[in-house]
Amino acid sequence: MTNLSQVSYFTFSAYFDTGPFKYLYFTIVMSLYVFIFGSNLLLIVVICVNRSLHEPMYMFLCSLFVNELYGSTGLFPFLLLQILSDVHTVSAPLCFLQIFCLYTYANVEFYNLAIMSYDRYLAICCPLQYHTHMTFNKVAKLIVLTWLFPILNIVVMISLNASLQLCGHTVDTLYCNNYSVVKLACFDTTINNIYGLMYTFTVLIGLALLNLFTYVKILKVCFSGSKQTRQKAVSTCTPHLASLLNFSFGCFFEIVQSRFNLSRAPMILRIFLSIYFLTCQPAFNPVLYGLKLTKIRLICKSLLFGKI
């Protein structure tokens, strides 16, 4: 990061003086983080210690919950510190570290949800061949690739951005955002834009098409299959589809907020749009899967309230 010597820190202009209310906001955000951390950690422990949950679907869920712990930890401690601070700045290396954490989280989430949709497709559309296709080794490889590809992509993106010469240090967000930093570049950012577009079209749209393909196939089976098949499809696919839609809308909100001028919109709306996918998804998934998947729900009850 040699060219970052000109910009050693970034200032966040999205924060505003909340006066005595900052302690209230701190308490609310801290409570949300404690809930996210505790609920995701509980489900990770439940899946890891119970042999009955050592199945492909639950192993992919475990990877999902680990990612949400990782992503929320990349945001919440920083957010809590900024709420209490009177000077809203961060050093350049820490800013790029946060970009790495949050963008890795978002990419891993997309990969994980796509792999989970493929797993549900095999379970519902090819039930007799499911255990042949989804062996332990294949599940382990898919989970490793789910983390490895996003990490490599974000490392390349950070390397390109770190080589930029920046002409300012003020970003208009609550946290370090890649697009907000790139906008500060003094010179042409064509290479960064080309890389971002290539990755979007080749990988993210590919994952979206995989999700679409699997659900089209699952719907065909539901309409042509027995009542038992439809019930199985609804019980296992509803949480995943709800999670996928929630995360997709959250990312869409963040893109709209960062790419378009919403200065006329209320500040609270802009803040909500920018952090929705980083806060609501990690809080939403443990509740959704904990309530909808019977095995997880019963084991959680037995852990928290004694044997049932």
At 254, which amino acid appears? E
The band of 5, judged by pLDDT with boundaries at 50, 70 and 90, is very low
The pLDDT tens digits of the residues spanning 16-57 come to 777 778 888 899 999 999 999 999 998 999 899 888 888 898
pTM of the model: 0.88
pLDDT at 6: 62
Sequence spans of domains, the chain: 7-305
pLDDT at 306: 62
Q: At what angle do helices 267-292 and 56-84 cross, to 10 degrees?
A: 150
Minimum mean pLDDT range among 62-76, 148-162, 165-179, 187-201: 187-201
Does an H or E element contain 22, and which?
Answer: helix 22-49
Q: Which residue has the tokens 């007799």?
A: 128
* pLDDT of 107 higher than 70: yes
Residue 122 and residue 130: Cα distance in Å, rounded? 6
The pLDDT tens digits of the residues spanning 132-142 come to 889 999 999 99
pLDDT at 305: 66
Q: What is the mean pLDDT of the chain?
A: 84
3-state secondary structure of 171: strand
Residue 78 and residue 69: Cα distance in Å, rounded? 14
- Counting residues of the chain whose pLDDT is more than 70, the rounded percentage is 94
CA distances for 7 relative to 110, 117, 174, 190, 197, angstroms: 32, 43, 18, 21, 26
- Which CATH number is 7-305 given? 1.20.1070.10
Whose CA is closest to 121, among 308, 113, 70? 113
The band of 263, judged by pLDDT with boundaries at 50, 70 and 90, is low
- Counting residues of the chain whose pLDDT is more than 90, the rounded percentage is 28
